[in-house]
């Protein structure tokens, strides 16, 4: 028998987060500009050797914009795949918060001894006499061409990722570090971790809005009374993960079957990925045995009557495991009876999309990192503050 909900989840977990024009507004993204005579930035974060400046920049149209100051920016170049590149200091960078983007002057680099070693539709690479390279490998397509950019992270931003107890940060940073959850749960979790959140409300998160726009509506109803103790009832379901390229084709994933388990009392979630549907049977029995050893025996598992789930029940009762867990199978085509697992798929996929979007994961790397991001989203969800029998717990 096949449960009706399993195959329907395919479209829910599609990871469609392509590089877009909004990326250019990020503080760590620098546009390769052949017309600019100097570097310019809209942020003075991490600035060194700041000097007042009266120079002006004249754009294609409109009034000239005066630079408030010039500054040096120490940092490191990062490839679009996340690889570490050259450490450097951008010198005499013009600053004005009214600038829309960060511009890196290609002509200035060429005048200082850099040379172009590659240039095509995938980007531009330049090299200096020391054989150090800068690659403008972030490509944002426009109507008639493309914008080439690179990622340069300032030392100040690299040093600001501390999450020690007592560290101060704004709510937007905590929101990103905790996997793009809602504001209330982000504040509760940050407090539990000992972080000090500075004043101010959380602004709308663009990547979260995009991720949520791709979610599919699922019934949130459940016919059974809620379990009150951890392990009292666990919801289990499988879904096939598909990760899309920008051209509409899908990446080939080896471990494409995503198993989610949700503890009803606490909301705690577990994610696991296997090559096949039946590949989840043995690891699930092992997990339930581990929970039993930790004094959290799984009393009831709710799941649909798919073939692999029936095999799971048989295997759990075998002489190898001898688990006392009861299996409650839902009726065919009734996803609302397994709602917690069903809802977990779009919820975690949405957070994973937001995390990849905020991290500027390029299209050609999403197939490699998507499953790891889903695992990370699941673990970060485990930090969320919940109430069990009137008491808040993580």
Q: How many CB atoms lie within 10 A of CB 314?
A: 11
Give 237: exposed, middle or buried? Use CB within 10 Å, 0-12, 13-18, 19+.
buried
Distances (CA, A) of 310 to 303, 316, 320: 9, 10, 17
Q: How many residues does the chain have?
A: 394
Segment 211-227 shows an average pLDDT of: 60
Predicted pLDDT at 16: 39
Segment 58-84 shows an average pLDDT of: 77
| Sequence-separated (6 or more) residues with CB below 8 Å from residue 146 | 121, 139, 140
| Sequence-separated (6 or more) residues with CB below 8 Å from residue 77 | 85, 86, 87, 88, 134, 135, 150, 151, 152
Asked whether residue 125 carries a pLDDT value surpassing 70, the answer given is yes
Segment 139-165 shows an average pLDDT of: 81
Q: 332-376 pLDDT, tens per residue?
A: 656 566 889 989 999 999 899 888 888 777 777 788 888 999 999
Asked whether residue 284 carries a pLDDT value surpassing 60, the answer given is yes
Q: HSE of 63 in the Cβ direction (CA atoms, 13 Å)?
A: 4
Confidence of residue 17 (pLDDT cuts 50, 70, 90): very low
Give the lowest-confidence range in 5-9, 127-131, 158-162, 301-305.
Answer: 5-9
Confidence of residue 57 (pLDDT cuts 50, 70, 90): low
Confidence of residue 60 (pLDDT cuts 50, 70, 90): very low
Segment 44-67 shows an average pLDDT of: 70
Segment 200-222 shows an average pLDDT of: 67
Average pLDDT of the residues of the chain:
83
- From edge to edge, which strands make up the β-sheet containing 123-127? 115-120, 123-127, 133-136
Backbone angles phi, psi at 351, to 5 degrees: -65, -40
Asked whether residue 148 carries a pLDDT value surpassing 90, the answer given is yes
Instruction: Write the secondary structure of 49-103 as one string of H (helix), E (strand) and C (coil).
Output: EEEECCCEECCCCCCCEECCEEEEEEEEEECCCCCEEEEEEEEEEEECCCCCCEE
Domain ranges of the chain: 4-16+218-393, 21-158, 161-213
- Taking each helix axis from N to C end, the angle separating 281-293 and 307-316, rounded to the nearest 10 degrees, works out to 40
DSSP-assigned letters across all residues of 212-258: HTT--------SSPPP-STTS-EEEEEEE---B-TTS-B---SS-EE
Segment 220-241 shows an average pLDDT of: 82
Give the lowest-confidence range in 146-160, 206-220, 292-306.
Answer: 206-220
* Ramachandran bin of 200, using left for φ above 0, alpha for ψ from -120 to 50, beta for the remaining angles: left
Segment 1-21 shows an average pLDDT of: 38
Q: HSE of 73 in the Cβ direction (CA atoms, 13 Å)?
A: 27
Segment 373-385 shows an average pLDDT of: 86
Asked whether residue 35 carries a pLDDT value surpassing 70, the answer given is yes
Q: Are 301 and 270 in contact (CB under 8 A)?
A: no
Give the lowest-confidence range in 56-60, 212-216, 347-351.
Answer: 56-60
> Which CATH fold would you assign to the domain 4-16+218-393?
Nucleotidyltransferase; domain 5 (3.30.420)
- How far apart, in whole angstroms, are the C-alpha atoms of residue 168 and residue 190? 10
Asked whether residue 13 carries a pLDDT value surpassing 50, the answer given is no
Sign of CA dihedral 191, 194, 200, 206: negative
- How far apart, in whole angstroms, are the C-alpha atoms of residue 233 and residue 210? 33
Q: Which comes out higher in pLDDT, residue 4 or 19?
A: 19
Q: 288-325 pLDDT, tens per residue?
A: 999 999 999 999 999 999 999 999 999 999 999 999 99
SS3 (DSSP) at 159 = coil
Confidence of residue 14 (pLDDT cuts 50, 70, 90): very low
Asked whether residue 158 carries a pLDDT value surpassing 80, the answer given is no
Segment 81-87 shows an average pLDDT of: 84
**pTM here?**
0.68
What are 204's two structure tokens? 């709308």
Q: Which comes out higher in pLDDT, residue 160 or 19?
A: 160
What are 127's two structure tokens? 């090299």
| Sequence-separated (6 or more) residues with CB below 8 Å from residue 97 | 42, 43, 44, 68
Sign of CA dihedral 162, 165, 170, 174: positive
- How far apart, in whole angstroms, are the C-alpha atoms of residue 29 and residue 84? 15
Predicted pLDDT at 176: 85
């Amino acid at each position: 028998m096949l449960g009706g909900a399993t195959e329907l989840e395919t479209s829910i977990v599609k990871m469609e987060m392509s590089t877009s024009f909004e990326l250019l507004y990020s503080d760590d993204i620098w546009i390769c500009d052949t017309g600019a005579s100097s570097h310019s930035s809209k942020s003075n974060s991490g600035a060194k050797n700041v000097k007042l400046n009266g120079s002006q920049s004249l754009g294609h149209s409109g009034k000239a914009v005066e630079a408030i100051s010039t500054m040096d920016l120490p940092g490191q170049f990062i490839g679009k795949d996340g690889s570490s590149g050259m450490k450097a200091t951008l010198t005499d960078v013009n600053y004005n918060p009214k600038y829309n983007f960060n511009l890196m002057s290609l002509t200035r680099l060429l005048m200082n001894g850099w040379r172009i070693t590659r240039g095509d539709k995938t980007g531009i690479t330049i090299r200096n006499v020391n054989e150090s390279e800068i690659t403008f490998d972030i490509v944002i397509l426009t109507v008639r061409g493309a914008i080439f950019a690179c990622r340069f992270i300032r030392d100040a931003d690299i040093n600001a990722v501390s999450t020690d107890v007592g560290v101060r940060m704004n709510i937007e940073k905590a929101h990103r570090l905790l996997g793009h959850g809602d504001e209330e749960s982000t504040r509760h979790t940050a407090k539990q971790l000992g972080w000090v959140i500075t004043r101010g409300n959380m602004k709308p998160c663009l990547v979260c809005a995009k991720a949520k726009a791709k979610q599919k509506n699922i019934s949130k109803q459940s016919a059974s009374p809620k379990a009150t103790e951890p392990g009292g009832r666990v919801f289990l379901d499988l879904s096939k993960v598909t990760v899309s390229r920008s051209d509409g084709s899908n990446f080939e994933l080896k471990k494409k079957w995503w198993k989610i388990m949700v503890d009803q009392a606490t909301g705690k979630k577990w994610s696991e990925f296997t090559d096949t549907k039946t590949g989840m049977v043995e690891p699930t029995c092992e997990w339930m045995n581990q929970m039993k050893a930790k004094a959290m025996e799984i009393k009831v598992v709710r799941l649909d009557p798919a073939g692999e789930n029936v095999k799971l029940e048989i295997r759990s009762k075998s002489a190898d495991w001898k688990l006392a867990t009861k299996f409650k199978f839902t009726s065919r085509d009734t996803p609302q009876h397994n709602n917690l697992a069903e809802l977990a798929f779009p919820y975690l996929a949405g957070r994973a999309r937001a995390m990849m979007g905020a991290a500027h994961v390029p299209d050609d790397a999403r197939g490699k990192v998507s499953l790891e991001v889903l695992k990370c989203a699941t673990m970060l969800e485990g930090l969320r503050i919940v109430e069990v029998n009137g008491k808040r717990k993580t």
